[in-house]
Structure 1
Amino acid sequence: MGSDRIRPPWWLKHVNKVMILLNRTGLLKDGPVVLVVTGRRSGQPRSVPVTPFEVDGHRYVVGGLPGADWVRNAQANPKAEVLWGRRREPVRLVELPVEQARPLLRQFPVLVPTGVSFMRNAGLVTGPHPDEFEALAGRCPVFRFDSV
């Protein structure tokens, strides 16, 4: 998996910190939430803003950069928390097999339009084309949030 890893843009860490702070205020009603996963080496909580989407009553999130640390942490320990302002929800992240991920990735550009430019800038897609997103199955994992 290491060879498929994409370096995050230099600004991502800074933007993530701002999004995490904004989330804590409770002012963001829609859009990103903070996902807290356990570091696979440190065992410490690691926070990252993610934008979940809903299909057929289930919530999902796409690992937008192949090899991202939060993805590898979630793969190592699927217990996590979702934070909305001061509200915390324990979840289990279930990574979907490629065949189940494909139709969800097709819907991603419509359901999470803000994710399209991020993935385009990372060189993963050229635009909001469902076929291009579906082709990311196996590279960009899709996780389902299961309540615990």
Structure 2
Amino acid sequence: MTTTLRLPRWLPLANRVVRVLNRLGLRLGTVHVLTVPGRRTGRPRSTPVSPLTLDGHRYLVAGVPDGDWARNVRAAGRGELSSGRHSEPVTLTEINDAGQRRAVMRAFPAEVPNGVPFFVRLGLVTSGDPDEFEAAAARVAIFEIITFPTESELDH
């Protein structure tokens, strides 16, 4: 299968709508907003993402590994993840271990079913089959989300 990695033309508008709804405090299923410093300007850059959890660890998958948000994450290594009115500072570490990458991708269709059509649109998979997602693991970027307890959590 040839990977097209062409983003839908409607994506920028949809991303703006999701960011506005998030700022208004509305939660949208698995969708969160990730804000990281821009790699050139340092100005905050926000994009909708859908974290997934596997074996107690949270991950983000970038279907376009050289997309702006993935490059910004690599440069900054940190950001803020928000859902509705809840925000948390996070560290983001790219996963290079092939076995771990395959396991995360295999879990993706069950953990983030609404994200499957996006990966189909990119040409990375043709369906929500976990085997197909696992086979695409080498063609995406995967970041582990690491959170830290807040001061109030540490006091208890």
Same fold (TM over 0.5): yes
Q: Deviations over 1:62-87 (max 9, x none)?
A: 10223211001111111110112232
Write the distance in 1 (CA, Å) between the matches of 2:28 and 2:7. 26
Write the distance in 2 (CA, Å) between the matches of 1:123 and 1:29. 25
Letter in 2 for 1:68: G
Aligned length: 145
How far off is 1:58 after superposition? 1.4
How far off is 1:114 after superposition? 0.7
Matches within 5 A, 1:45-56: 45-56=44-55
Which one has a bigger Cα radius of gyration? 2
Matching of residue 132 in structure 1 with residue 132 in structure 2 = yes
Correspondence for 1:68 = 67
Q: Percent identity?
A: 47
SS at match of 1:102: helix
Q: TM-score, normalised by structure 2?
A: 0.86
Matches within 5 A, 1:92-103: 92-97=91-96, 98-103=98-103
Matching of residue 39 in structure 1 with residue 35 in structure 2 = no
How far off is 1:108 after superposition? 0.3
Correspondence for 1:146 = 146
How far off is 1:144 after superposition? 0.9
Letter in 1 for 2:109: P
Correspondence for 1:13 = 12
Letter in 2 for 1:112: V
The answer on whether the counterparts of 2:4 and 2:123 sit within 8 Å (CA) in structure 1 is: no
Correspondence for 1:115 = 115
Write the distance in 2 (CA, Å) between the matches of 1:116 and 1:59. 18
SS at match of 1:138: helix
Aligned residues: CA RMSD:
1.6
Q: Deviations over 1:16-62 (max 9, x none)?
A: 00011111222216310100011111111100000111112211111
The answer on whether the counterparts of 1:38 and 1:44 sit within 8 Å (CA) in structure 2 is: yes
Correspondence for 1:59 = 58
